[in-house]
Chains A and B, each alone.
Chain A
Amino acid sequence: DTGVSQNPRHKITKRGQNVTFRCDPISEHNRLYWYRQTLGQGPEFLTYFQNEAQLEKSRLLSDRFSAERPKGSFSTLEIQRTEQGDSAMYLCASSLAGQTQETQYFGPGTRLLVL
């Protein structure tokens, strides 16, 4: 399978715990994005990387959220001291920079439930 992969697919945690999600993009893609989606809404942008550089962060990304892409390949998204409001689907997408109509391809998502 050469698409975007995400692990874990589901995560249940208790409020106050830390969680970390992983995203492996399509291998030749140099851009990687994180989005969050809640029920009945479209995905909302959180942050994006070009290679290993984090180029943009949404105001949605509080201090409890951190993302890394240390070698310009896979990325991790960590949420510290989780809150019930963090419950959502966390989606990763990747794209190849420089295309005329650059297309982002999404992974299957990590569904987080904070109890």
Chain B
Amino acid sequence: DAGVIQSPRHEVTEMGQEVTLRCKPISGHNSLFWYRQTMMRGLELLIYFNNNVPIDDSGMPEDRFSAKMPNASFSTLKIQPSEPRDSAVYFCASSLTSANNEQFFGPGTRLTVL
């Protein structure tokens, strides 16, 4: 298996633009997590899904952020409009189930908002 796949790996955009980050979890995994990592705040969980259903989105910063999982093999995290303070590395992770011990992380998307 190729592991968790994220695209793009790097994104540079201007303030106010829409940004869409993509994730393909490991085949057969039923739980998917979106994290954000910054120097100031460390690693934060934004939202997670079980069987394509959002379970906990309490970490989503504000209404500018939205996440979808239309099927078991694809998820998106969208920021509209983007702001410079959204600059961070965004990780997607998947696990067999939410109760399963190991989360497998993707390589991350480094987002820079100018």
A and B associate in one complex: no
Instruction: Point out residues on B near A: beta carbons under 8 Å.
Output: none
